[in-house]
Amino acid sequence: MGLTEQLQALYQVDSQVRGLRTRVENSQRYLDVQNRHLGELSTQLEEAELRLRQSEASLGNLENERDSVQARIDKLRDELNACTTSKQYSAVQDEMKLLKEKVDEYDEQALESMEQIESIRELVAATKLKREERETLQKKAADDLEERTRDVGERLSELERERDGAAAILPDRVLEVFNHAANLNDGETMAEVLEVNRKHREYVCAACNVELPFNTLVVLTNSGDELVQCVGCQRIMYIAEDLKAALSK
Supply φ then ψ for residue 87, to 5 degrees: -65, -45
pTM of the model: 0.70
Query: Of 68, 76, 67, which is closest to residue 96 (Cα–Cα)?
Result: 76
CATH architecture of residue range(s) 3-168: Orthogonal Bundle (1.10)
Q: Is residue 16 very low, low, confident or very high in pLDDT (cuts 50, 70, 90)?
A: very high
Question: Domain locations in the chain?
Answer: 3-168, 175-248
pLDDT in tens, 130-170: 999 999 999 999 999 999 999 898 899 999 999 999 999 99
Which residues touch 64 (CB under 8 Å, ≥6 apart)? none
What size, in residues, is the chain?
Answer: 249
- Helices 3-81, 86-168: crossing angle, 10 deg rounding: 170
Percent above pLDDT 70 for the chain: 98
pLDDT in tens, 22-59: 999 999 999 999 999 999 999 999 999 999 999 999 99
